[in-house]
Amino acid sequence: MVIDQHTVVSLHYKLQEDDANGQLIEQTQEGEPLTFLFGAGQMIPEFEAKLEGKSAGDHFAFGILHTDAYGPYEEEAVVALPISIFMHEGQLDHELLKPGQMIPLRDEEGNLLYGTVEEVRNDSVIMDFNHPMAGIDLYFTGQIESVRAATAEEIEHGHVHGLGGHQH
């Protein structure tokens, strides 16, 4: 079976910055493949496009430009927020506000955003709302472990069930 819409894909990969000689960003561990429902919007669209048509046992190696992955790094996404919004019952949560810590926040419309604490000042907190991999070109290598047809329930729910997937 080949990777196509409504297939469940399990694969092992190594992700590096820029190219095959770039810094290691992440990789799967032996016995713990990445498993996902192809075409359900869970993966970077360009990642799926590069895998479409491959079968179990196939190897892959490809790059994805940051513009086709997590976008460019945007300086305007780094903002100073009033320290008062991080107060709870008159206290500042110092464990939460450590540089490098990613925390969830809501904007004025109630949308959930994730920001990374860059710096804590006396009256403000500098937050970076860029994706951690914004501005980084990605390079993937790996092997397809298995491909199977998704069940009707997996298609309806938009994710994989069972081993390597979501448990209900």
Domain boundaries, the chain: 7-68+134-157, 75-128
pLDDT, position 4: 96
Determine the distance from the C-alpha atom of residue 167 to the mean position of all C-alpha atoms in its chain, rounded to a whole number: 20
pLDDT tens digit sequence for 29-54: 988 999 999 999 999 999 999 999 99
Low-confidence ranges of the chain (pLDDT < 70): 163-168
Architecture of the domain defined by 7-68+134-157: Roll (3.10)
- Going from the C-alpha of 74 to that of each of 66, 67, 77, 135, the distances in angstroms are 12, 12, 5, 8
Q: Which two tokens stand for residue 79?
A: 């903002």
Q: Select from 69, 81, 66, 136 the least CA-distant residue to 113.
A: 81
Bridge-partner residues for 111, per DSSP? none
- Going from the C-alpha of 56 to that of each of 3, 22, 26, 31, 75, the distances in angstroms are 9, 27, 22, 15, 42
Architecture of the domain defined by 75-128: Beta Barrel (2.40)
pLDDT, position 162: 73
Locus of tokens 């397809």: 144
> DSSP secondary-structure letter at 150?
P
pLDDT, position 94: 81
Contact call for residues 133 and 25 (beta carbons, < 8 A)? yes
pLDDT, position 163: 60
Phi/psi at 84 (nearest 5 deg)?
A: -60, -30
pLDDT, position 129: 96
